[in-house]
Amino acid sequence: MAVSDPLATEPRMCASHGVGRSTLREALRILELLGVVAIRPGRGGGPMVAAPDSRHLASTMALLMQCSDTAFRSVVELRKSR
């Protein structure tokens, strides 16, 4: 799929993945935060493929570092050692 290609409709995605509408919407919200999906509002809108950028990578890395209790200085030290 290419950027801005529409995804399947909510009913079709729910059926194909065996999940309820609220579960699907929550998953789409998470994918939107990660930058891989954009939600077009209004009639004829819906989820479409997006292209994540460096902001999305940075927030994901920050979350990963926070969850694994990794200090930023560890990243700097690793970078210096190469």
**SS3 call for 71:** coil
What's the pLDDT at 7? Answer: 96
DSSP element (H, E) containing 40: strand 37-40
Q: Is the pLDDT of residue 16 over 90?
A: yes
Residue-wise pLDDT for 21-77, tens only, equals 999 999 999 999 889 999 999 888 899 999 988 888 888 888 889 899 988 888 788
Question: For the whole model, what pTM was predicted?
Answer: 0.69
User: Which domains are delineated in the chain?
Assistant: 1-51 (1.10.10.10), 53-82 (no CATH)
